[in-house]
Amino acid sequence: MDMTLLNYLYMKNANAGLFNQSTKCIIPDSYDTPIEIDCVELVQLCEQRWNEVHNDWYNEYQELKTKRKAGDVSV
């Protein structure tokens, strides 16, 4: 997930709420085919995936942190 996309979706949703605009937007897919999406739903899916990946990374980091010690490294 790209943070630029997430920031765009946050701004789109904020502007839609302020100016009574639609939360639908058209973005290109990986083949440059335009698709219509609901920005609110996409933000929720992106945040959910972001949290899953971040939690996986953090759990792996905590596990490796207990296994690796500076004294274990030979110089």
Per residue of the chain (75 residues), give pLDDT as tens: 566 777 777 777 676 555 666 778 788 888 999 989 887 888 888 889 888 999 999 999 888 888 776 666 565
Q: What is the pTM of this model?
A: 0.58
Q: b vs e for 54-66, b when ≥16 Cβ sit within 10 Å of the residue's Cβ? A: eeeeeeeeeeeee
pLDDT for 72: 63
Count of all residues that appear for the chain in the document? 75
Beta strand 34-38 with 24-28 is: antiparallel
